[in-house]
Amino acid sequence: MTGRAVLAQDSAQGAAVLCAVLALWWAVERRRGLGRARALLPAGASGSREVRSGAGAAWPEMAARWWAVLRGRRAWLCLPAAGVLALLGESPVPLVLGAVAVPVVERRLRAAGRRREREARAERVVALCAAVVGELRAGWQPAQALAFAARETGALDREEAGVLAAARFGGDVPEALRRAARQDGADGLAGMAACWQVAVDGGAGLAAGLDRLEAALRDHREQRERLRAELAGAWATVVVLALLPAAGLALGAALGAHPLRVLLHTPAGLGCLVVGGALETTGLWWAARIVKGGERP
C-alpha cells in the first residue's frame, strides 16, 4: 500500500512539473507573438488586441491554438510519453530513449510531409495540363491559356513568374518549364515542355499533346494508388508486429508481473531490453525496406 501511495505521489509530481513546463512554454510563445504584433501593428491596435486576448479569449480559440502548436511539434510528444513510463518504471531510461526518439520521429514526420507535398504537386501538374487543354480548345492563345491555368491550379509554385514571363514576352517557355520540373513531384512539367517545344518547332497541336500527357500522368497516378492499396495489408502487418512487444508489456502489467521493473531494474531485464530494442529496430527497418521496394515503379 505504501508503494502505491509513493507511486501515486510521484505521478502527481511529474504531472505537475509537466503542466508547469507547458504553461511556461505557452507564456513565452504568447509573449513572442505579442512582440511580433507590436512590431507590425500600430500601438493602439496592438494594445487593444492584447487586452482582448488577455481578457476575453474563448476556450475553443485556446484549444485550436494548442492543437496548432502540438501539430507543428508532434515529435516532442515522445517526451511526455517517456516521462510517464519513467514514472511508472521509476527509472530515467525511458526519458533517455524518449529524447533519442525525438529527432528520429521528427525526421520521419518531415519525410511524410515531403511525400504529401510531392503528391499534391503532381496532382496540380495534372490539373494544369487539363486546364491548359480546356482553355486552348475554348479558343485562347497558348500563352494566355498557360497564364490562366497556372493561376488557377498553382502548379508552378516558385517558378510561376519565370514561366509566365517567358510565355507573355516571347521567351523560352520550354526551358522555363524544365526549370520548374526540377521541383520534387513536378516531373510532368518536363512532358509539358516537350509538348510545347514540338508544337512550336513542328507545328503540331499543343492541345492534343497535352491531352495525351494528362492521360499518361493520370494512368501513372492510378497505377501508384493501386500498388499502394495492394501494399496496405503488408504495412498493417508491419504495424501489428511492431506493437506486439508493447501489448506484451501491457498484458504482463495487467497480470501483476511488473514487466517495467524487471526490464529497467535488473541486469537480465536491461540486457533483454537492449537486445529486444535492437531486434525490433532491425525488423522494422527490414520490413519497411521490403514494402518500400514494392512501392517503387
263-282: per-residue pLDDT in tens? 888 888 889 888 988 888 88
**Number of structural domains, the chain?**
2
Output DSSP code: residue 56. S
Asked, for residue 239, whether it belongs to a domain, the answer is yes
Report the range out of 70-74, 165-169, 264-268 with the highest average pLDDT. Answer: 264-268
Q: Give yes or no: residues 176 and 241 share one domain.
A: no
The mean per-residue pLDDT over the stretch 211-216 comes to 89
Query: Helix, strand or coil for residue 172?
Result: coil
Asked, for residue 32, whether it belongs to a domain, the answer is no
Q: Give yes or no: residues 210 and 250 share one domain.
A: no
Backbone Cα Rg of the chain = 28
Q: In angstroms, what CA-CA distances link 106 with 118, 167, 289?
A: 18, 41, 19
pLDDT above 50 (res 140):
yes
Domain end point (choices 168, 197, 221):
221
Q: Give yes or no: residues 123 and 216 share one domain.
A: yes
The mean per-residue pLDDT over the stretch 120-149 comes to 87
Domain end point (choices 202, 221, 240):
221
Place of cell 515529435: 75
For residue 118, give the nearest of 19, 188, 198, 65 by alpha carbon.
188
pLDDT above 50 (res 60):
yes
The mean per-residue pLDDT over the stretch 20-43 comes to 52
What pLDDT, on the 0 to 100 scale, is given for residue 40?
A: 46
Asked, for residue 176, whether it belongs to a domain, the answer is yes
User: What is the distance between the alpha carbons of residues 269 and 259, in angstroms, rounded to a whole number?
Assistant: 9
Percent share of the chain, pLDDT over 70? 73
How sure is the predictor about 14, in pLDDT bands with cuts at 50, 70 and 90? low
To the question of pTM greater than 0.75 for the whole model, the response is: no
User: What is the distance between the alpha carbons of residues 247 and 77, in angstroms, rounded to a whole number?
Assistant: 20
Q: Give yes or no: residues 212 and 130 share one domain.
A: yes
User: What is the distance between the alpha carbons of residues 118 and 180, in angstroms, rounded to a whole number?
Assistant: 13
Q: Give yes or no: residues 166 and 239 share one domain.
A: no
Domain end point (choices 159, 187, 221):
221
What pLDDT, on the 0 to 100 scale, is given for residue 27?
A: 55
The mean per-residue pLDDT over the stretch 225-231 comes to 84
Q: Give yes or no: residues 295 and 267 share one domain.
A: yes
What pLDDT, on the 0 to 100 scale, is given for residue 207?
A: 85
Q: Give yes or no: residues 242 and 197 share one domain.
A: no
pLDDT above 60 (res 153):
yes
What pLDDT, on the 0 to 100 scale, is given for residue 1?
A: 43
Q: Give yes or no: residues 134 and 197 share one domain.
A: yes
How sure is the predictor about 258, in pLDDT bands with cuts at 50, 70 and 90? confident
* Rounded-to-10 torsion of CA 103, 105, 108, 114: -80
| Structural domain span for residue 283 | 231-297
What pLDDT, on the 0 to 100 scale, is given for residue 43?
A: 43
Q: Residue 283's CB: how many other CB atoms inside 10 A?
A: 13
Residues making up the chain, counted from first to last:
297
